[in-house]
Amino acid sequence: MGMDIRSALLMGCMVGLLMFVGYLVGGGSPEIVLLFFLMALAINLITYWYSDKFVLAMYRARVLAEGENLPLQNMVSQLAARAGIPKPKVAVIPSNVPNAFATGRSPSSSAVAVTTGALDLLPEKELEGVLAHEISHIKNRDTLIMVLAAAIAGAIGYMAFWARWNLLMGGSRRRDQGGSSLLAMLLVAVLVPLAALIIRLAISRGREYGADRGGAKISGRPGELANALERIEGYVRNRPVSGGNPATAHLFIVNPFRGDVLINLFSTHPPTKERVRRLRELEANQSIGRIY
């Protein structure tokens, strides 16, 4: 599976917002709009080729050799075979808090990273559920889709920063030029970045729900994935990550950057309670199917 229609439409809205920023900044100039579109394209290409290397290095993840930690390698290999994709590389992150993420530009060039805490604290079946969730992300190319959304939102954020600086330094001059110019800068500085953030969150949350369903199908144990989510949520709530970059939060199975009400409100992940509820529902339907 690739990008679904809903995600494709949302990504189109993101690119449209970026071009709209170019329109406002450039006063309607087609050249400026084209410049911003090419900037989005460049960001996408750089992200496509190097995002996996960047994020693995950021979290000091060590890629395992083929003969290293065979139980973990075999689990990933079996789940990948069930999903119908090549076995991804397996990496371990030195962190006591259980969590995991997938990264890579395609199923043939991908990696699954798990923390030492996940290996130590999660029961085997729950770990299998977590890995199946991440492999579902890889199969559906969610890692690329979510990183692209983050990259475009980041570009809009930089333009908003520029617009706020421009308003601060040249506000009186813009008032002399007319109210429409000032309004355009206000849109770029405040409303457009907020719209981009909302769209990015909608993309990310939708892909998380999809990966939960896909992971449950791959592992055949939606209840174990639900248990793992509850367990990881409990650890993350008490011990949010101290390093890393919040811009990468969308990659993890549970948002590791917690503790602030505002961060929770604008989380890249849907509420864990709702994710668990949907998985329990899948588990119940699965049980009914076995009976009949």
Kindly tell me the sign of the dihedral angle through the C-alpha atoms of 246, 247, 250, 251: negative
Phi, psi of 115 (to 5 degrees): -80, 160
What is the 8-class DSSP label of residue 268? S
Q: What is the C-alpha to C-alpha distance for residues 112 and 96, in angstroms, rounded to an integer?
A: 17
Instruction: Note the pLDDT of residue 217.
Output: 95
What is the structure's pLDDT at 1? 47
* Structure letter (DSSP) for residue 188: I
Neighbours of 164 (CB within 10 A): 16
Q: Are 134 and 85 in contact (CB under 8 A)?
A: no
Q: How far from the centroid of its chain's Cα atoms is residue 115's Cα?
A: 17
The β-bridge relationship of strands 100-106 and 109-115 is antiparallel
Q: What are phi and psi of 90, to 5 degrees?
A: -120, 130
Residues labelled catalytic: 134
pLDDT at 27: 60
pLDDT value of residue 264 = 57
Cβ neighbourhood burial of 168 (10 Å; 0-12, 13-18, 19+): exposed
Per-residue tens of pLDDT for the chain, all 292 residues: 456 677 778 878 888 887 777 777 666 566 766 777 777 778 767 777 887 888 899 999 999 998 899 999 999 999 999 999 999 999 999 999 999 999 988 899 999 999 999 999 999 999 999 999 999 999 998 877 877 777 777 777 777 777 777 666 665 455 555 455 666 667 777 777 888 888 888 888 989 999 999 999 999 999 999 999 999 999 988 876 656 777 788 789 998 886 554 555 567 789 999 999 999 999 998 765 454 3
User: What is d(CA 127, CA 39) in angstroms, rounded to the nearest whole number?
Assistant: 40
Identity of the residue numbered 163: A
Alpha helices by DSSP H, the chain: 5-25, 30-58, 70-83, 116-121, 124-139, 142-177, 179-186, 192-219, 222-238, 261-265, 272-291
Quick check: 79 and 132 in contact, CB under 8 A? Answer: yes
Sign of CA dihedral 118, 119, 125, 127: positive
